[in-house]
Structure formats: structure tokens, C-alpha cells
Structure 1
Amino acid sequence: MAKKYKNKRPHKVRKQILLGFFSVILVVIVFFCVKYLPITISLYKDATKKVNSISYNTFHGNQTTYLYDSNNNIINNLYGSRNSLYLTYSNIPQAVKNAFVSIEDKDFFKHGALSIKANLRVLYSIIKNNGKITQGGSTITQQLARNVFLNFDKTYKRKIEEIFIAIKLDQKYTKEQILEFYINNINFANNTYGIEAASRRYFNKSCNKLDLSEICFLAAIPNDPTYYDPIKNANATLKRRDLILSSMKQNNYITNDQYNNAINYKIVLNPEKYTGNVWVESYALDNAAKVLMKLKGFQFKNTFDTEQDRTNYYNDYSNVYNGCINDIRKDGYKIYTSIDMNKQQLLQSSVDNGLLDFTDQNNGIYALQGSAVSIDNNTGCVIAIVGGRTSPQKDYLNRAFQSFRQPGSSFKPLAVYTPAFQKGYTDTTIINDHYIEGGPHNDGDVYMGDIDIRKAVQMSLNSVAYQVFNDITPDYGLSFVKSMDFSKIAKSDYIPAAALGGLTYGVTSTEMASGYSTLARNGEFIDPTCIRSIIDSQGKTIYENKMEKRRIYTADASYLMTDILKGTLENTWGTAYNVRLDGITSAAKTGTTNEQKDGWLCGYSAYYTTVVWVGYDMPKHVDNLYGGTYPGTIWHNYMQQVHTGLQDKDFNTP
């Protein structure tokens, strides 16, 4: 009897476990039906309608998005050549197919549209988290449904419709066709869609010429095109490449020898040559995507209680942002910008000519770099943007809005002095300039004793800025730049060192240009963008820039700051005296970081604001780099030319 009892007990336990499991599933299904059935029926009908409306050609992305300049001339079409890069199933290398199936959906050819186990897990997560998706579980078919038909919102509605569309796609097309559509439509970062376009963009060759390691390197990108961008985050891309190779080995797609060879293969990017204007296109696309995000109701933030909150926000941001980029790619928009292509060429030439002496290159891209942004002060719109030097190879990093750098003393007018003027300081307020234990040093360790703020600003005395910032408090000073949407002011920045631009992450050239343009308008901020309007494929204007103003500084404080900064150019002791403009009233502030790693010139007239940054992508010392040297020369050459024929005009008094 004892023996029989022992044999039956495990069977009974297994039966109870299975019964309990199916009971849980039943409860989940009943709960789901009661709470979500009405919306589920609606989503099913919508999914059916969408899939019934498509054909094989839908996945070729026939609609083209066009970009226009300030005179309504076409700058470029963003995806016009994409059809020629589409590969049919038989022309996609087998290693490409294997890589994606292995890492994204290893049972793709075995199951239907869905992985039941994975989707039940997601379903449970949705219910548990009040309708919000907190984990993945999408098959390749589901990912195709999301990429082509839906957005990247993490809601139960999107997930349910994704499931229905996937089921319908699986009924309509073969597995081979679905994999073909998927590989040709996924996002490979930097406005690149499909494996052939990615291969040409990053390696300048067709994908059938790629090494296994290069294939897996590219296959790493679509999982998160922002994070695995091979231009900006090559190390992260390489780590995921290794993960894909490991997965291919485990799933018997490659041998141990192939795995070892691929792991040890050195990836060398060889970007394709490019005839368009990458700076204008990348910035316009970024701006347009953010417009669509706003239209979808995305809430932008630049303040976070914890680092986890910051991480969660940027994960959500990345999902929605990539979805909007995908919408622009496939939906055929007309994007009208404020970019003046003549001024764009002038700004590019000024940057290139100003850095001619620096010839060192890394893979065809100049080592020493620069960025510059020019804004029309009347409209607040960006009229020219340069993200780097013209290089032999295409450079995809737009440093003007994608690179965050330490601003040095150029940060003082925005976070220290103009806020101080609103607190009651004046240009005649006397501060004792002296070294403070634990505080900053002045250039050359020269201290002036009692000095008025006007001259202290023009001489860029660090000790004075440090004392004023301490008095008004970092909370107060930084509140102004936060109000101008400087996106990476961190909790750790609320310290005295921020007075001199010592920030955790830094600022972009675009952010600095918008700040100084605000001073030029006597304290009224306008969101910096190059988008004038966006028209959809049906001819409907879905966005028009109203150039809305928002007061940041008082008019009196702003005008006083501008009047002082005029002296930086006009007085012999001013740090920008050598780059003053001929016949044009203007104001400016220089900035140089420790060890001359970053140089800034932020200057403006009544007409235009232009900011220039110079430095290495990986910060290091540059001989003779000060705000008034290379950045100042670039600024002077551009601003002198764009004011040709304009009458001198002083800044408006309050």
C-alpha cells in the first residue's frame, strides 16, 4: 500500500498544479472579457479593416516624405530611393533571416501569428498594471503589425490590436512573405529602414557582401534604434551583436568555428557617401517627430524625482519617438522648414574654413569638430544648423542638437547674471573679486579686487560669477534655463560649480542659441525649431508653427544683460573684442572649459543669434582653444556675411 501511495502522490500533485494553472487562466480570461470585451470587438473590426485594405505593395513604402526650405523649395525627399533597396525573400541572405529569427522569434516558423505563452504573460502584466505594457512578448508577425500599422504606445489597446492584425496578416500571407516584409521595414536608426539600406549606409556595400559578424551587428540595431545606434553607441551595438551570435550558435544556425570567427571579427564602419544635407535633414526629422509626439499627447519632461524615473521616461520617449519617425517614413508628409539654404551654406563654410588647420581624421571623419546654430530672432526659428565639419565620409552625428557639452562661462548670462538682475543686482553692483577656498580660479589666477558686474562679465571673472550664483542660489538660477527647456539639467547640477557651466550632462548648441535668442527678444522665449508646417498625404495641414512666446526673463533684466554683452565685443578688455562685427551692433559671450576642451561663442544682433562650439567628440585639450579664437572666428565670418545689406539696428529698449 505504501508503494502505491508513493506512486500516486506525484501524479495527484501534478494534476492539482495543472488544475490550478487552468483555473488561473480561466479567471484571467473571464476578467479580461468582462472588462475589455467592448473595446476588443472594436479593435478587432479595425484590425480586419486595416489588413483587408493592404496588398503586397503596401510593404514597399511607396509614399515619400519631402522636406522644403524657407522658400518652399525641396531640400530632399527623405525616403525616395527606398523602393530600389527592397529585397525579395530569395534575395535576402540566409544569414540575415537566421539572425533575426534566432534573436527575435526562434519558433517563428513553428507557431502561428502569436506565441501563446508569451502573450498570456503580457496579458497578465497588462491587467496587473492597469492597462500598461511593462514587458515584451511580440513575435515577428506582431512586430511587423506594430511597425507598419500602429504606433509604439505601451497600452493594452495597442497590444490587443497588434495581436488581431498579426493574426490577420498570418492568414493573408506566408511565413516567408511576413519575414520579407519585416526585414525590409524595420528601423535601423539614422533614418534607415530595411537591411539593404542599412548595409549601404553603415558599410557602403550590399548586404549580400556582408560578413556574418557585420550582419549580426546590423541585426542588433532594430531592437532599440536609439540605444543601438552604431554611430553614437557602437559599443552597445557590439554587445548585442555578440548576444545574437550566441543565440545563433545555440539554435544551430552557425558552428562553433563560425561563432568564434564572427566574435573576433573587427567591425569597421564605412558609411556611404552622401550628397544631401545631413544636418538639416536629421534636425528637421527630429523636430517633426516631436511635433507628432505632441499631437499624440506625449507629455515632455525635463524634471525627474529619481534616476529610475528618468530611465522610465526615456524608455517611453524612445518608443514613442521611434514610432513617430516610422510614421514620417511611411505616411508621405510634406515638411516645410525655416532653413535658409544660402545661410546654411555660409554657416557650413564658416565652420569648415575656421577649422582647416586641424586635419586628423578617424575613419574619414575629422577628429576636431564644431557645431553651429543660427536663429532668426524675430521668429525664433532655426535658419541654419551645422552638426559638424564637411568630412570625406558621411558623418551622422549632428552635434548641434545631439551632443551635450560643458558650456563654460557662456552659461553665466543665462543662469547667473540675468537671473541676478531680476533679484535686484545692477551693472554697477560691486563685487570683490578674489580667490575663494574651494572655489574657481580666474584665468591666469588674476583677481581684480572690487569690481562692478559690468566689467566682471566682460572680463569673464569666474570668482564674481561664483559669488553671485551662491547668493541668488542654484535653485533660482537654474530655474530659468529649465524654463527654456534645457533638457539635461540634473539634480546634481544644483551646486555652485554650475555657475561656470560645470554640469553633469551639459547643453547643446541649439539650447544655447535659444537661450541667447531669448535675451535678444528682451526675455521672451520661443521654442527653437525649424518646422513651419506639416502637411499629411491627404493635403491636410496637421501642424502650423504659431511661434508662441513665453516670458522667461523680465525685459529690463534682459536688456541690461544685452547692454553689458555688447561691451564684450566693443571694449578692449572684452573676451570677444577681436571678433567684433564691422558696422553691426551685437552682443556676445565667450566660454572655455577646463583644460581648453570646449570653446564657445554665443552672440547675437537684433536680427540673428548664432552659437558656435568647437572641441573633440571625446573631450580633450585643444591648443589655443578659447571662445574668442576658433569659435569666435567662425562666428564672425558667418555673422558678418549674413548681415550684408542690412541696416545697423540697436536692440529694442524695454
Structure 2
Amino acid sequence: MAILKRLLRYALILALVGVLLVVAAVGVAYWLLAPRLPAVAVLRDVHMQVPLRIETADGKLIATFGETRRVPVRIADVPAKMKNAVLSAEDADFYSHPGVDWHGIARAGIHVITSGGDKGPGGSTITQQVARNFFLSPEKLYSRKLTEIFIALRMENELTKDEILELYINKMFLGHRTYGLGAAASFYYGKTLDQLTVAQSAMLASTFQLPSVVNPLNNPKRAIGRRNWVLGQMLSNRFITKAEYDQAIAEPNDAYPHEQPIEVDAPYLAEMARLQAIEKLGNDALVEGYTVKTTVTSARQDAANTALREKLSSYDRRHGYRGPEGHDELPAGAGTEELDRVLAGYMAAGGMQPGIVTESTAKQATVYLSSKESITLDMDAVAWARRYVNETSAGSVPKSVDAVVKRGDLVRVQRNEQGQWELTQIPSVQAALVSLDPEDGSVQALVGGFNFQRSKFNRAVMSARQPGSSFKPFLYSAAFERGFTPASIVNDAPVVFPDPSRPDGIWAPSNDDGKFDGPIRLREALVKSKNLVSVRLLDAIGVRYVRDYATRFGFTPDAIPQNLSLALGTASVSPMSMARGYAVFANGGFLVTPYFISQINDRNGQAVYVANPARACVDCQERLLDTTPPGPPPPSTPSGPANAPATSSTAAVIGDAKLPDDAHTTGPHPPHLAPRVIDVRNDYLVTSMMMDVIRRGTGSAAMELKRDDLAGKTGSTNDHRDAWFVGFNGKVVASVWVGFDDFTSLGKGEFGAKAALPIWQDYMGAVLKDTPSATLPMPPGISTVQINRSSGMPTSAGDPDAMSEIMKVEDVDRLRQQAQQQQQQDETDQHSYDIF
């Protein structure tokens, strides 16, 4: 008995010494690690990584950018069933323990001893997991575990339980790039936390341990097993009733990927906004939860997308069917699984659905779609599909359906206006559209190509194409500054110039139609788009003068040729630069700079940037007091080429678009005035001529819109490589380009009026519907005068060839003097003739 007491005493002494040694070891470890422990207080201000959002002006989502999906939630907004599911799965005693589960640590220690050093899982509370995820690496080291314990104890001392739990449910990775319960609920179920069922809450809670493996998508069977275990824990902890448990156990796994819905299709603009956001905000732009508000409205962007896609498809159909995108020799009796495999690599593009032909006869074909439905195409659905030969010819009209599509063909289909399915194809031709508000240059709509996923090249701002005749209004504006008027006579006749670069040593330009009208007034020359008149006009006023003058519209000299071919529109321009140039005519003579970001807000909705663009501001008091004469824009106004790199002085420039000055910290401020670059009278004259282009010239198809305030100009280049239409009213400017990326011809007859104008017409018709007329009022200094339609000189009302024309008042006086001198000269010549 004495021996037993003695042994017991020794055991107690050894246990006490052991405890003292452990305490001493822990104390020494803490003394060594304490200086290196992070400050827990930083967790109160921690910023979870939240993607960048790009939105329209009316708040609709265009895109998100970032490596993570995260929707931060406050602990107060987490419903009890979700919170209880997490606690049951991860740490049921969370609200009662001091931050460390000593029993769990002891179990983990015993496991290490019994397993010969295996550092298995277990023993970490929610607090410890937060400490590890915010401050430590995931490697399994004893020193790391000890540091984790110390941090957890600190956290429990400095933070509340709810604060720790909020950090946990927002930080943890839950599979498929989702971080936090808010993002997981949205991705797996398309719901917010308060909309989840008990079973769905348990499913999300079950993913915390092995999110890449145990999640409802990657391993549904294992995930349901883990979910059911969590539900059992919730029942044991009395968080749910037996009836709720039974109902949740029976609930099937209905999770599937719910990507954040894109509400407006504007991927080219989204990428532009991303680049400018990074330029403005640095690397934090993609992770700090910023929201970029663009100037684009959803209605106008939708109208631009629809107009461009429908009319490109119309062009494509005019030139024939190029055949299926692919072909697969389907085995007899191929099932849906085999068909889905074939279609797996094909995505919808521009509303065109991919499908595979499963049966084809003379009268109809059956097509299985990627949406797992089968449709029927009859003869009407393929009647357009003449065989493509080249851009100028196509085969005969098909006589049967199986002459167009065969079993195994990979094709595209879409619904027509009547809701019927029909065969289609993704156009090989491309187009771009840019629409601006001429008041301040804000981008109203932008489309850089038919489909962003197939081609990310942004033709709206990155292309450098020849504008053809759509450049002529700038030439005519320059001519009016040199004394020409809309009534000036120029000879539309063949002309030849020496050109050593050509094999025959001469350059002989011609009109598109090959016809010549002889002496013609400038107004009529622009209406009919006479090339030879433009060449003679440029030769008269000088290439150097016109190149310098063109910079007033935002073009750079290096984009403009130094020869007479400039008259035919051989400059290198983008659709955005053309829209910017025409905005000068639309707003009364002021050069505005395009921009597309109006505001940037932080994650709390507070503005960190508000655009303060230069405005035309015709009616502003500051403008009325501005006496600066028209002239070239100041050097600070960005007018670089479409692909110019950003510099320190032109930061965040994309094409002709620039991030305006920031006004959010300056308080009230006077309007920022855009420079006046042309006289308002010059503007009025050129605009009146472009209105005639639409009323009775090459743009006359736009008269279908039944508006009296539209002005614009078509453009076509040699061999029909480019087709343009640029036009406006007082509120909207739109520039449209159509062509092939490899400069292939669009085909015979594909002028700007046929290939580009229909897109512009559909877009403007949609955005101007039910809006009042908006035209530039006649400014002071413009006079309406009677001229002789043949000579272009002022005449009396009694002249049978008299007609009305407008011009500057000083030009009227000058021309009347010239007419009087000419009349006197004619009388003198006649008197001399009478003598003889």
C-alpha cells in the first residue's frame, strides 16, 4: 500500500512537472513568436477581394473582371439556418470556446503519436481557420500550428464572435472560384442566402472542408453524403426539427452553375473600361469591389447590337451560303449523348444557335440543338442559301433542303421575325458602330465586331481604314474657309496628274459610277459624291492646308496622306475618330473628346471618380463670354492615332477616347468648355449639304425614318474594300464601318449606301424614335440668296434659272460684285463685237 502511495505521489509529481514544462514551453514559444504575430486589429478593416463591375448608365451589368467570385455579406444578414449549418459542420461550440478547442488539439496530438507522425486533419476551430486563412500558409508545421493558436487567442480577445464568424463566411473558398457563402449561394443556386432551403444551406456548409472535391457539381454523390451528415448534426444540435430534417434529406441536389447574368451585351466596351479602370486605379481595380459606371445606355447598346448583327447577316445572305461549320459522320442511331459531344465545342454567337443535322430529305431537315431540342427546317428556311462562289457571285436558288444541308452537318439556326427557325451562318464580314453625344463626346453605344468571343479585335477604336467619300465634308469645310460656297462651280470632268509611283506615270481618278456631269455646284457635287470635283477642289486650296485643317476635327497629320488622293478619302481612321469628327458638325463647331466612363464608385458606393468632360455648352454663360476665334485644337486635346500608346500626358487614352478630368473632389465648378474649331456658319453650310445627301443623294434611303433633322455622308473605297456611313442630328452622332479584316472586297455594288447605311438607319431609327427634331438653327451671318443654277452666281428673282442657296453674307457681297463685273465685261465684249 505504501509503495502504491509512493508511486502515485511520483506520478503526480511527474504530471505536475510535465504540466509546468508544457506551460514553460508554451510561454517560451509565445515569448519567441509574439513579436512576429500580426496585429489582429487589421481584420476590422479587411477588404475582401471583390471583382470589378462594369455597368451601363442605367445600372445594368455589362461585365465583371476578377479572379474570384465574391459577394460580401454582413453577419446580421445571414439567416439562422445558414449560420447553424456552418456551425454544425465546422464548430458547434464556436460561441462557447475561447478560440481553441483543447480537446480537438489533444485528439490531433494523440493521432500524431499513434500514427507515427502523420499530421492529419482536425483540431481547428473556426477562429483558428480564420487565423490561418488571413495570416498563415496552409503548410502543416508544428510552428505554424502554434502560431495559429496564439493568433486565435488574440482574435478572441480583440474581436467579437460575430465579427470572427463574418470574416469566416466571407473569406473561405467554396469551389469554382467562389469565395464566401454569398457568392456560393449565387453560383450554385442562383439565390441569395435568405432564399436558400435548409438542405441547400447544409450543402454549402458541407463544402468548407474540401471545396474542390466535395461540392455539389464536381462530386454530387459525395456532396449529398456530406450534406446529410451536416443535417444530422443540425438535428443533434436542435437547430432543426425532425420534420425539417426529413424534408431536407429527401430534397434532391438541384445545384448547377449560375453565372452572373450579363444584362447588356457590350464586351468590347467592357474591355475598354477595364483597361481605363486599371490605368486610373492601379492593380487594386480588379479586387477592391469598384463599380465603373459607363456612359452607354442599355437601350442604345441593344439597338446597336441588333442593327449591326441583322444587317451583317443580310449582307452575308446576299452573297450565298458558305456551307456547314463542320461535319461529323454520325453513327446510325446516334443518341443525344453522342450529339451533345459533337456540339460541345460550339457556342452561340450573336443569337445564332449551333446545331447538328440528324436527318435531311428533299422537303425538310431535322436539327438537334445544343439546348437539347430538335427543330425542323423546311424549304422556306433554306431558300436563301445559294452556294457561295465569291463576293461577286453565288449559285442558283436551291431546289431541295438536302441540297443545302446533310446529315452530320454542323450548322447555325435562328428565329426570324415570325418566330420560325431558319438556317443562318456567322458572317465572315465585320462591322463596327460608334455612337456619341455631340454635346460632350460621351459614348452612347459601341460595337467592335460581330462577336467578341470569335474576335476580340476592337474595330471601333483599333482599326485604321480608309473612309472614302465620308471624309469629303472635312474637305468642303476647308474649302468654305478659302472662299468657296455651296454654289461654287467646279468641273466634273476627267483629270490626269503626274504620278511617278505608277507604272504609266500618271494618276487618273474617276467617279464611282464612271459618269461626268461637267460644271457642277459644290452642293450637288457632295450630294452625288463626285470624286473628280473633290480632287479639283483639293488641288485648288492645297493639300497642306487641308491636312492642317483636318486636325481641327481631331485627326492627326500622320493619319492623312500628303497627296491629292486625300480627296478620295485615303486617310487612316477608325469609326470612333470619324464619329468624333462629325460631332463637330453636330454641335455647332466644337471639338469634344470621346469618353465612356462617367463615374467610378468604391465598394461602399462612394464616388472615387466623376468625369468632368469638355462640353460644347452652346447656351452656357461661359460660352457666351468666350471670344476665342475658331482654330486648331490646343495641344492638350488628345487627337492621336487609334493605336497610339498612352503616355504620361495622355494617360488612359483608348483610340480617340480619353478619361476626362476628375471632378468628384473639386465641388461646384464652371463647365469645361470644348475648343471651338470651326466657325458656326461654316458648320451650318456643310451640315445643310449633308442633309441634302439624305434628302435626295446617296443617303436617301434614310428618308424612311421620316425625319427632317438628319445629315450624313456615305463612303466607299477602291474595289469596295470599305463601306461607311456617318451621320447625325443635333443629339446623336453615329459612325458605321463595314468590311473584311483582310481588306478583301465586299463585292460589286456594295457601296456605303448598301452595306453600311442600313445599320446606321436601323440604329438611328431606334434611338430617335418619338424624339423631337434637333437641328442647328441658322446662325447670324448666313444669308439666303437667289443664284443662277448654272453659273452659281447671285441673280435676280426674275431669272428663269434662279434658285435659293445659302452662304456667308460676305460671300454674297463678293459674288455680287463679281457677277456685276462679269456682266459689264460681257456687255463690253458684245459692244466690241457689234462694232465689227
| TM-score for both structures, normalised by structure 2 | 0.42
- What letter corresponds to residue 530 of structure 1 in structure 2? F
Q: Which amino acid aligns with 1:412?
A: K
Matches of 1:467 and 1:274, distance apart in 2: 58
Q: Secondary structure at the match of 2:588?
A: coil
Alignment correspondent of 2:710: 586
Alignment check: 8 A CA contact 2:599 2:607 kept: no
Partner of 1:424: 483
1:450 to 511, 515, 519: 519
- Residue 587 (structure 2) pairs with residue 518 (structure 1): no
Q: Report the Cα distance in structure 1 between the residues aligned to 2:284 and 2:708, rounded to whole angstroms.
A: 44
Residues 426 and 284 of structure 1: CA distance in aligned 2, closer, same or farther (over 3 Å): farther
More helix by share: 1
Alpha-carbon distance between aligned partners in 2 of 1:291 and 1:469, rounded to the nearest angstrom: 43
The answer to whether the 8 A contact 2:472-2:534 is kept is yes
2: CA distance, partners of 1:561 / 1:396: 36
**What amino acid does structure 1 have at the position aligned with 2:612?**
N
Please give the per-residue CA displacement for 1:18-44, whole angstroms capped at 9, x wherever unaligned: xxxxxxxxxxxxxxxxxxxxxxxxxxx
2:268 to 278, 282, 291: 282
Indicate if the aligned counterparts of 1:611 and 1:635 stay in contact, CA closer than 8 A.
Answer: yes
Normalization by structure 1: what TM-score? 0.53
The residue type paired with residue 402 of structure 1 is M
Secondary structure at the residue paired with 1:442?
A: coil
Cα deviation for residue 605 of structure 1 reads 1.4
CA distance in 1, matches of 2:542, 2:602: 47
The CA deviation at 1:600 is: 0.4
Aligned pairs (5 A) from 1:454-603: 454-486=523-555, 489-490=557-558, 493-503=561-571, 506-536=572-602, 539-548=606-615, 549-571=674-696, 574-580=697-703, 581-603=705-727
Counterparts of residues 308-387 of structure 1 (less than 5 Å): 326=283, 328-357=285-314, 358=316, 366-387=427-448
Distance in 1, Cα, partners of 2:676 & 2:41: 49
State yes or no: 1:639 paired with 2:764. yes
* Corresponding residue for residue 630 of structure 1: 755
Paired amino acid for 1:444: D
1:491 & 1:601 partners in 2: Cα distance? 20
CA contact (8 A) 1:373 1:509 kept: yes
Deviation of 1:441 after TM superposition, in Å, equals 0.9
Deviations 1:451-496 (A, max 9, x none): 1111101111111111222233233223344344336x52772221
Secondary structure of 2:302's counterpart equals helix
Q: Which amino acid aligns with 1:650?
A: T
Letter aligned with residue 65 of structure 1:
L
Judging changes above 3 Å, is the alpha-carbon distance between structure 1 residues 517 and 279 closer, same or farther for their aligned structure 2 residues? farther
The Cα of 1:277 is off from its aligned counterpart by 7.9
- Contact 1:410–1:501 at 8 Å: present in 2 too? yes
Task: For residue 77 of structure 1, report the CA deviation from its aligned partner.
Answer: 2.3
More displaced stretch, 347-356 vs 527-536:
527-536
Task: Give the superposition deviation at 1:75.
Answer: 3.0
Partner-residue secondary structure (3-state), 1:454: helix
Residue type of the alignment partner of 2:455: D
Q: Distance in 1 between matches of 2:525 and 2:305?
A: 33
The list of structure 1 runs, each at least 4 consecutive aligned residues, that deviate by more than 6 angstroms after superposition, is 51-56, 361-364
Check 1:77–1:62 CA distance in 2 against 1; reply closer, same or farther (3 A cut): same
The structural deviation recorded for 1:276 is 4.2
| Paired amino acid for 1:501 | G
Per the alignment, do residues 469 and 64 of structure 1 end up closer, same or farther by CA in structure 2, a change over 3 Å counting?
same
Counterpart of 2:269 in structure 1: which amino acid? Y
Q: 1:493 to 1:279 in 2, by over 3 A?
A: farther
Two-structure CA RMSD over aligned residues (Å): 3.6
**Structure 2 counterpart of 1:507, one-letter code:** V
Of the candidates 26, 47, 55, which is equivalent to residue 68 of structure 1?
A: 55
Whether contact under 8 Å (1:61, 1:82) holds in the other structure is no
- The alignment partner of 2:762 has SS state of helix
Q: 1:398 to 1:435 in 2, by over 3 A?
A: same
Paired with 1:593 and 1:278, the residues of 2 have a C-alpha distance of 33
The answer to whether the Cα contact below 8 Å between 1:441 and 1:462 also exists between their aligned partners in 2 is yes
> How far is 1:564 from its partner?
0.4
Instruction: Evaluate the alpha carbon distance shift between residue 491 and residue 382 of structure 1 in structure 2; reply closer, same or farther with a 3 A threshold.
Output: closer
1:618 equivalenced with 2:678 (yes/no): no
2:307 partner letter: S
**Are the equivalent residues in 2 in contact too, given 1:588–1:601 (CA < 8 A)?**
yes
CA contact (8 A) 1:407 1:507 kept: yes
Quickly say closer, same or farther: Cα 1:559–1:632, change in 2 above 3 A: same
Kindly provide the amino acid, as one letter, of the partner of residue 617 in structure 1. D
| Cα offset, 1:432, TM superposition | 1.2
CA distance in 1: counterparts of 2:776 and 2:260, whole angstroms: 41
Q: Secondary structure at 2:591's aligned position in 1?
A: strand
- Name the amino acid aligned to 2:493: H
Are the counterparts in 1 of residues 269 and 447 from structure 2 also a CA contact under 8 Å? no
| Change in 2 beyond 3 A, CA 1:470/1:277 | farther
For residues 275 and 402 of structure 1, the distance between their equivalents in structure 2, rounded to whole angstroms, comes to: 28
Contact 2:554 2:591 in 1 (8 A): no
SS in 1 for 2:509: coil
Shift of 1:82: 6.0
Higher relative contact order (CA 8 A, sep 6+): 1
Displacement of 1:64 in angstroms is: 2.1
1:354 shift after superposition: 0.9
Q: Distance in 1 between matches of 2:693 and 2:740?
A: 26
Say which one has the larger Rg.
2
AA aligned to 2:742 is M
SS at match of 2:753: coil
Does 1:399 pair with 2:459? yes
Matched to 2:611, the amino acid is E
Show CA shifts across 1:359-414 (max 9, x none): 659897631111111122334211111112248x5432221112221111101112
Whether the 8 Å contact between 1:523 and 1:553 is mirrored in structure 2 is yes
- The SS at the match of 1:516 is helix
2:786 maps to: none
Question: In 1, are the aligned partners of 2:436 and 2:732 still within 8 Å (CA)?
Answer: yes
Give the CA deviation at 1:83.
Answer: 7.6
**1:526–1:547 CA contact under 8 A, matched in 2:** yes
**Quick one: structure 1 residues 483 and 280, their matched pair in 2 at CA, closer, same or farther if it must change by over 3 Å?**
farther
1:209-266 superposed Cα distances (whole Å, 9 cap, x missing partner): xxxxxxxxxxxxxxxxxxxxxxxxxxxxxxxxxxxxxxxxxxxxxxxxxxxxxxxxxx
CA distance in 1, matches of 2:260, 2:455: 9
Structure 1: which amino acid aligns with 2:739? G
